[in-house]
């Protein structure tokens, strides 16, 4: 059964979009803590997006049913690190008309209705889940709902420098976060480590921040003295990687929005110096498209590719052959920004 706890409400104004978040337990309130630091508001604006997370007694208490025409988009498992009750995290994502149904199996389910601007999550023993996992459900629900407000999420790092936006896109292990930190410590402003937003204005697109903690490996930490020498508790162990809040180590380097000017696709190169290889617009579009799927499929990404096409047309596009000169990356990138 659904627990009968009183729902608590938090209000957010996220880049001008009103969001109501309701939760039935303290464990389910924690995912919005970082957002409340940056986007807190006190009044409900008209036509808000609504996300409601509730605790249920068992998977059988989740009131979710699929139609015969529902289409599976994704299914997978991964270790449930930090979970007090489970060994594996199992997730299946299904498109059912205008709804996106995220079946978490024994953990519950998340139903996102983009047409109505609502998301409902039903979670079994949420207090046993790692905080990073609870936060990921909130991030995913918000990202999907923002599509109805002409905002699309990318799997990329993003920064701003004197009004010019830099996107660093690519798969895990390509050097994306390391490149982002090399620029951040040189005076760039942080927008996102993993999931910035593109907002479609018709003729062009705007790059928006999506504040999340920055995840780092021990190898990445080894490149940056400020991470190695951080005060205890600032760089923390998460479910899968260590992470920290950008404001703790780079307090004057937090941005909100800008115009995209450069699109980088890094790959680690076994050479002393980094270099840039210009990409054609068609090459850049093919490379950025998979970064917009976000647990969906390539066909759906192509159907909603107009913002991506405008992004590629607006930005200078390069393959970054990322060498051993990590801390010198700003000398390569910064002179190219704003030259047009």
Task: Say yes or no to pLDDT of 17 above 60.
Answer: yes
The per-residue pLDDT for 229 is 96
- Per-residue three-class SS string for the chain: CECCCCCEEEEEEECCEEEEEEECCHHHHHHHHHHHHHHECCCCCCCCEEEEEEEECCHHHCCCCCCCCCEEEEEEEEECCCCCCCCEEEEEEEEECCEEEEECHHHEEEEEECCCCEEEEEEECHHHCCHHHHHHHHHHHHHHHHHHHCEEECCEEEEEECCEEEEEECCCCCCHHHHHHHHHCCCCEEEECCCCEEEECCCCEEEECCCCCEEECHHHHCCCHHHHCCCCCCCEECCCCEEECHHHHCCCCECCEEEEEEEEEEEECCCCCCEEEECCHHHHHHHHHHHHCCCCCHHHHHHCCHHHHHHHHHCEEEEEEECCCHHHHHHHHHHHCCCC
- By CB atoms closer than 10 A (0-12, 13-18, 19+), residue 1 is exposed
Task: Say yes or no to pLDDT of 293 above 60.
Answer: no
List, for residues 215-232, the tens digit of each pLDDT value.
999 999 999 999 999 999
The per-residue pLDDT for 295 is 46
List, for residues 253-269, the tens digit of each pLDDT value.
889 999 999 999 999 99
User: Which residue ranges does the chain devote to CATH 3.40.50?
Assistant: 153-336
Mean pLDDT along residues 111-116: 95
The per-residue pLDDT for 2 is 55
Task: Say yes or no to pLDDT of 238 above 90.
Answer: no
List, for residues 38-68, the tens digit of each pLDDT value.
787 877 778 899 999 999 999 999 999 999 9
Higher-confidence position of 188 and 130: 188
What integer best gives the mean pLDDT of the chain? Answer: 89
Mean pLDDT along residues 199-221: 89
∠ at Cα 270 (218, 213), nearest 5°?
Answer: 30
The per-residue pLDDT for 199 is 92
Mean pLDDT along residues 242-249: 92
Q: According to CATH, what is the number of the domain 153-336?
A: 3.40.50
The per-residue pLDDT for 204 is 83
The per-residue pLDDT for 5 is 64
Mean pLDDT along residues 76-100: 89
pLDDT band at 1 (very low <50, low <70, confident <90, very high): low
The percent of residues above 70 in pLDDT, for the chain, comes to 94
What is the C-alpha to C-alpha distance for residues 104 and 91, in angstroms, rounded to an integer? 5
């Amino acid at each position: 059964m659904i627990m009968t706890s009183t729902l608590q409400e938090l209000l957010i104004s996220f880049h001008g979009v009103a969001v109501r978040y309701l939760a039935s337990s303290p464990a389910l309130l924690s995912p919005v803590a970082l957002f409340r630091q940056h986007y807190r508001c006190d009044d409900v604006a008209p036509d808000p997006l609504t996300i409601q997370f509730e605790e249920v007694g068992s998977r059988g208490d989740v009131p979710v049913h699929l139609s015969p025409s529902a289409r599976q988009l994704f299914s997978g498992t991964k270790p449930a690190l930090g979970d007090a009750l489970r060994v594996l995290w199992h997730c299946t994502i299904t498109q059912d008309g205008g709804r996106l149904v995220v079946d978490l199996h024994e953990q519950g389910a998340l139903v996102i209705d983009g047409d109505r601007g609502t998301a409902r999550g039903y979670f079994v023993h949420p207090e046993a889940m790692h905080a990073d996992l609870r936060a990921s459900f909130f991030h995913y629900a918000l990202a999907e709902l923002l599509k109805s407000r002409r905002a699309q999420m990318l799997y990329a790092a993003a920064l701003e420098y004197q009004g010019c936006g830099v996107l660093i896109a690519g798969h895990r292990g390509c050097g994306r976060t390391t490149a982002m930190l090399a620029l951040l410590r040189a005076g760039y402003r942080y927008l996102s480590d993993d999931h910035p937003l593109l907002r479609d204005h018709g003729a062009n697109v705007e790059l928006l921040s999506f504040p999340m903690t920055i995840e780092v490996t021990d190898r990445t930490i080894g490149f940056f003295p400020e991470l190695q020498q951080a005060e205890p508790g600032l760089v923390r162990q998460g479910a899968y990687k260590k992470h920290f809040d950008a404001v703790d180590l780079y307090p004057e380097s937090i941005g909100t929005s800008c115009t995209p000017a450069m699109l980088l696709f890094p790959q680690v190169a076994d050479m002393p110096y980094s270099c840039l290889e210009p990409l054609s617009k068609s090459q850049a579009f093919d490379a950025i498209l998979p970064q917009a799927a976000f647990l969906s499929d390539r066909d759906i990404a192509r159907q909603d590719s107009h913002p991506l096409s405008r992004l590629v047309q607006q930005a200078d596009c390069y393959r970054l052959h990322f060498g051993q000169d990590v801390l010198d990356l700003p000398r390569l990138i910064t002179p190219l920004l704003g030259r047009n």
